[in-house]
A and B are shown apart, each in its own frame.
Chain A
Amino acid sequence: MMFKKLLSVFFKENFGFSRILGFNAKKQKGKAIAIGVLLVYGLGAFLFTFGYLFFDLGKILNQVGVLDILLIYGFIYATVLSVMFVLFRANGYLFNYKDYQILQPLPIPSRTVISAKIVVMMVFIYLSVFIFIAPIAFSYFYHGGFNVLGLLFFLIGTLTIPIIPLVVFSFVSLLIARLTAKMRHTNIINIVLLFVVFLGIMYGSFSLNFGDNLNPLLNQQDFMDALGSIYPPITWFVGAVNSHNVLDLLFLLASNAAVLVIFVYAIQKLVTSTNQRAMSKVTRKNNKAAVAKQRSIIGSIAAKETKTFFNTTIYALNIGFGPVIMIILGVASIFYADNIQNYFATEMGLNFGMEIIILILLGFSLSMVYSTAVSLSLEGKQFWILRSLPIKPKTVMYGKMLFNIYLGLPAAVITTLMFSYAIKLSFLTTMMILLFVVSLSLMVTVFGAIINLYVPKFEFRNPTEVVKQSAGAMFALFGSWIILVVDGLIFYFVTKTMSNDVGILLMSLLNLLLFAGMVVFIEKKTESLFNKFEV
C-alpha cells in the first residue's frame, strides 16, 4: 500500500509532462507541438538509421545461419545502456537522493523507499532500452519468422537484462564517488574515470570487428560465444527467445529476481549511511589564501561556464565527448592512417575519400559540442543573479558562446592538423578543412544559443534533465545535423563539377553566412527574449 503511494508520487515527480518538457504544454501549445514534431523526427531518424543497419545485418546473419547473434547484440546494447544510465544516475537516485530529508523522518521502511526508487530508475532504463533494441527485435523476427511465444519470451527476457548491471554498477558508481570524495579535484577525476569506462566499452564493441578471422562476422561470433560462456544470462536469454526454452527463461527470471531481492535488502544500510554522510558535510577551513583575479565581463562569464562544466559530471561527459573523441580520432589517425578508409568502407558502408570521412567525423563531433543550447537553462535557480546584475543579456550569451568555442574549436583544429599530417593532405585542403571547422564551430555555437533562448528549462532537479533530455539539447543536436546535411548536399553537387576544396569552401561560406545572420538575431532579439523569462 505504502509502496504504491510512494510510487505514484515518484511517478508524478519524474514523468509529468511539464516536468519532462520544462513548461506547461497546455499554456504553450505551439511550443509543445514543435517539440512533439521534433521528437517524432528524432525517433524516426534513429529507428530508420539504426533499423536499416540491423535489418541488413540480420539478413546476412540469417544467410549464414547465425541469426541468434542478433539477440546477443540486443542483450549487449541493453546492458551497455543500463550500465551508462546507472553510472550516471545511481548516485542521485539511491545513494544521495534530494528528498532524503523529507522521506527519512516518515514512518516508511527503508526498503519500501529503495524499492520505489529502483522502480523509477528501472522505468527510465526500460524506456531507452526498448527504443534501442526495437530495431534489433524487428530485424530478428522479420528474418527469423515471427511467433508470439518468441516475442513474449523476448519481452520478458529484456525486462531482466538491466537488473544485474543495475546491481553491479550501482556499487561501481558508489565506489567511484567514495574513492574520489576526498581528493582535491573530485569531479574531474570522476569525469576522467567515467570517460575511461565509456571509451573502454566503445573500444570493446569496436574490437568485435577486429580479430584473427578475415570475415568480421566470424570474429563477432567468436566474441559472442566467449561472452556467453562468461555471462550465463546471455545464453539463457538466447535459449529462451531462440529455442523457446522455458527452463532458460526460468533460470533468467529466477537468477535476476534473486539478485534484485538480495540487492534491495543488502543496500538498506548503505543507502542510509551514504545519504546521512551527504547531510553531515563539514566545511573545512582552508589554509590556502584565496586570491582575487580580474577579468573582462565576457571572460568572467566564460570562466564561470568552465567551472560549471567541470563540476557537472553529466555536462562534461556529454558535451565534452565531441572534443575527446576528436582528439582520440586524430591520434588514432597517426597510427592507423592506412586502415581508416578501409574500415569506414567495410564497417559503415561509407565508401568515401579520406577528406570526406574527415569532414564527416569533424562535423558530427563539433555538432555534439552544444553547451550554448543548455547553459542558459543550467542557470536554473541561479538565474536571478544574471537578471539582477548590470549585464546586457547579449553579453551573457556571448560569454556562453565563447566557452563553447573554447571547448570545441581547439580540439577540432588540432585534430585537423593531425589528420593532415597522418594522411598527408595538401596545404590547401588542410586550410579549407580548418576554415570549415572554424565556420561550423561558430555556427553551431550561436545556433545553440538561439535555441536555448527559445526553449529554456530553468526548472529541473538534476542537470541530466537539461543536458540530455531537454528540448534545447534535442533541437540543437538535430538542428545541427540538418545543417550538416545541407552542407553535405552542397558539397555533393559542387564536387560533381569542381574540386573538393571548392566544395569545402562553399560549405564554410554557408556556415559563416548562417553564423552572421544568427549573430544579428542575437544582437536584436536577446534582450526581449530574456525579459520574457519568468523566474
Chain B
Amino acid sequence: MLVIKNVSKTYNNKTKACDRINLTIEPGDIYGFIGHNGAGKTTLLKSISGIINFEEGDITIFGHSIKTDAMEAKRLIAYIPDNPDIYESLTGMQYLDFICDVFEIPLEERVPLIDKYAEMFEIKDVLSNPISSYSHGMKQKIVIMSALVHQPKALLLDEPFVGLDPKASFLLKEVFKDMVDKGSLIFFSTHVLEVAEKLCNKVAIIKNGKIVSNGRTEDVIKDESLEQIFMELSNES
C-alpha cells in the first residue's frame, strides 16, 4: 500500500507545490492523477520516488517510509518520468543491465524478462545500439522496460502515454492490468482524461497543490464525464 500522509512541499520558501496531500493507493489500484500544468502532479510523484524532499508529512510504501527507510522503499518502486532523460552513452541493454544490477537481479531472471518486454515493445533489434541514437518513443520504451524488469510493487508514472505509439500505449495498459492482477499498484499522472476514465479504478484531481477530489472513478464522475468534472473543478475559485 502507498500512503501519502499530510505531504507538503514548498519551492523557494514561497510556492506551495503540494499542500497537505492525503492519498492511499492500495494493491490492485490503477490510480489516475489529474491536474492542470503546474498543479503539483510531478512534484508529488517525485516526492514519492525519493527524487525530491518534502518538508511536511510522510510517504510510506508497503510500510517503508521514503524519508526514514528510503532504500527499502525504493526497492519496491519504479518511477517513470515524463521526459526520458537517460544515460545516452549506454546502449539500451547496458542501461537495463545497470538497473538490474542495482536491484540485484540475477542473469537467469533478467534475461527472460528483458527478452519478453523487448519483443513486446519491438525494440529487441536496437538494444545493442547507444541510447543516443534512439527516438523519443524508443527512449520512453527503454525507461518503461527498466521499470518493469525488476517487477516493482508500486509503479509511478508521469504522463506515461506521451510519446508512445498507439500500439505501445495499448501494450502498456495491458501491462498495467497484468501487474495489478498480481498485486502491484499503479499511480500515474495524465492529461488524457479519456484514458484515466477508462483505465483507472480510482482518480484524484489536484489543483494548486491541493487534492480537490478523489476516490473511485465512478463516484467522482457520477453521471458526468471526467472532462466535465475536471473543467468544473478547475473553474471553481
* Interface set of A (CB-CB < 8 Å, partner B): 281, 283-297, 299-301, 303-304, 307-308, 310-312, 381-382, 384-385, 387-392, 531-532, 534-535
Q: Are B86 and A385 in contact (CB under 8 A)?
A: yes
Give the shortest distance, in Å, between A432 (CB) and chain B (any CB).
Answer: 38
Tell me whether B53 is interfacial, beta carbon within 8 Å.
yes
Q: Are A311 and B89 in contact (CB under 8 A)?
A: yes
Cα distance A235–B30 in the bound complex, in angstroms: 76
The answer to whether residues A531 and B90 also contact, given A300-B102, A304-B98 and a CB cut-off of 8 A, is: no
Q: Are B126 and A285 in contact (CB under 8 A)?
A: yes
Q: Which chain B residue lies CB-closest to A286?
A: B128
Tell me whether B49 is interfacial, beta carbon within 8 Å.
yes
Query: Is chain A's interface secondary structure helix, strand, loop, or mixed overall?
Result: loop
Q: Are B107 and A294 in contact (CB under 8 A)?
A: yes
Q: Which stretch of B129-137, B160-168, B173-181, B196-204 is in the interface?
A: B129-137
The 7 closest A-B pairs by CB, nearest first: A311-B89, A290-B93, A290-B127, A300-B101, A390-B74, A285-B125, A290-B128
Cα distance A452–B68 in the bound complex, in angstroms: 25
Interface residues of B in 80-112 (CB under 8 A from A): 81, 83, 85-94, 96-104, 106-107, 110-111
Q: Which of A390, A392, A532 has the most CB of B within 10 A?
A: A390
Cα distance A388–B74 in the bound complex, in angstroms: 7
Q: Which B residues touch A387, using CB under 8 A?
A: 49-52
The answer to whether residues A292 and B89 also contact, given A387-B51, A388-B51 and a CB cut-off of 8 A, is: no
- Partner of B102 from the list A287, A291, A303, A390 (CB cut-off 8 Å) is A390
Q: Which B residues touch A292, using CB under 8 A?
A: 93, 96-97, 100, 107, 110-111, 114
Cα distance A311–B88 in the bound complex, in angstroms: 9
Q: Which chain A residue lies CB-closest to B74?
A: A390
Q: Which A residues touch B20, using CB under 8 A?
A: none
Q: Are A281 and B110 in contact (CB under 8 A)?
A: no
Q: Indicate the size class of the contact surface on chain B.
A: 35 or more
Q: Which A residues touch B89, using CB under 8 A?
A: 307-308, 310-312
Q: Are B102 and A304 in contact (CB under 8 A)?
A: no
Give the shortest distance, in Å, between A530 (CB) and chain B (any CB).
Answer: 10
Q: Which chain A residue lies CB-closest to B92?
A: A290
Q: Are B101 and A297 in contact (CB under 8 A)?
A: yes
Give how many A-B residue pairs fall within 8 Å (CB-CB): 112
- Partner of B133 from the list A284, A288, A296, A301 (CB cut-off 8 Å) is A284
Starting from the known contacts A283-B126, A286-B128, 8 additional A-B residue pairs (CB-CB under 8 Å) come to A288-B128, A295-B97, A297-B104, A307-B87, A389-B102, A390-B72, A392-B71, A535-B52
Cα distance A299–B101 in the bound complex, in angstroms: 9
Tell me whether B79 is interfacial, beta carbon within 8 Å.
yes
Q: Are A391 and B102 in contact (CB under 8 A)?
A: yes
Q: Are B129 and A284 in contact (CB under 8 A)?
A: yes
Cα distance A535–B47 in the bound complex, in angstroms: 11
Q: Are B85 and A531 in contact (CB under 8 A)?
A: no
Q: Which A residues touch B191, using CB under 8 A?
A: none
Cα distance A300–B100 in the bound complex, in angstroms: 10
Give the shortest distance, in Å, between B190 (CB) and chain A (any CB).
Answer: 19
Q: Which B residues touch A286, using CB under 8 A?
A: 125-129
Q: Which chain A residue lies CB-closest to B53?
A: A531
Q: Are A283 and B135 in contact (CB under 8 A)?
A: yes
* Interface set of B (CB-CB < 8 Å, partner A): 46, 49-53, 70-72, 74-75, 77, 79, 81, 83, 85-94, 96-104, 106-107, 110-111, 114, 124-130, 132-135, 138
- Listed by A's residue number, 19 A-B pairs whose Cβ atoms lie within 8 Å are A281-B133, A283-B129, A284-B133, A285-B125, A291-B93, A292-B107, A292-B114, A297-B101, A297-B102, A300-B101, A300-B102, A301-B98, A308-B87, A381-B83, A382-B85, A384-B46, A384-B79, A385-B87, A390-B74
Give the shortest distance, in Å, between A394 (CB) and chain B (any CB).
Answer: 12
- Partner of A283 from the list B74, B81, B98, B138 (CB cut-off 8 Å) is B138
Give the shortest distance, in Å, between A55 (CB) and chain B (any CB).
Answer: 45
The answer to whether residues A283 and B133 also contact, given A304-B98, A311-B89 and a CB cut-off of 8 A, is: yes
Q: Are B74 and A389 in contact (CB under 8 A)?
A: yes
Give the shortest distance, in Å, between A278 (CB) and chain B (any CB).
Answer: 11
Q: Are B86 and A382 in contact (CB under 8 A)?
A: yes
The answer to whether residues A535 and B134 also contact, given A290-B128, A292-B114, A307-B89 and a CB cut-off of 8 A, is: no
Q: Which chain A residue lies CB-closest to B91?
A: A290
The answer to whether residues A300 and B98 also contact, given A292-B110, A388-B51 and a CB cut-off of 8 A, is: yes
Q: Which chain A residue lies CB-closest to B48?
A: A388
Q: Which B residues touch A283, using CB under 8 A?
A: 126, 129, 133-135, 138
Give the shortest distance, in Å, between A506 (CB) and chain B (any CB).
Answer: 41
Q: Which A residues touch B81, using CB under 8 A?
A: 384
Cα distance A291–B100 in the bound complex, in angstroms: 13
- Partner of B97 from the list A289, A293, A381, A389 (CB cut-off 8 Å) is A293
- Partner of A296 from the list B101, B114, B138 (CB cut-off 8 Å) is B101
Cα distance A311–B87 in the bound complex, in angstroms: 11
Q: Which chain A residue lies CB-closest to B147?
A: A388
Q: Which A residues touch B93, using CB under 8 A?
A: 290-292
Cα distance A303–B94 in the bound complex, in angstroms: 9
Give the shortest distance, in Å, between A280 (CB) and chain B (any CB).
Answer: 11
Cα distance A297–B83 in the bound complex, in angstroms: 25
Q: Which of B49, B70, B101 has the most CB of A within 10 A?
A: B101
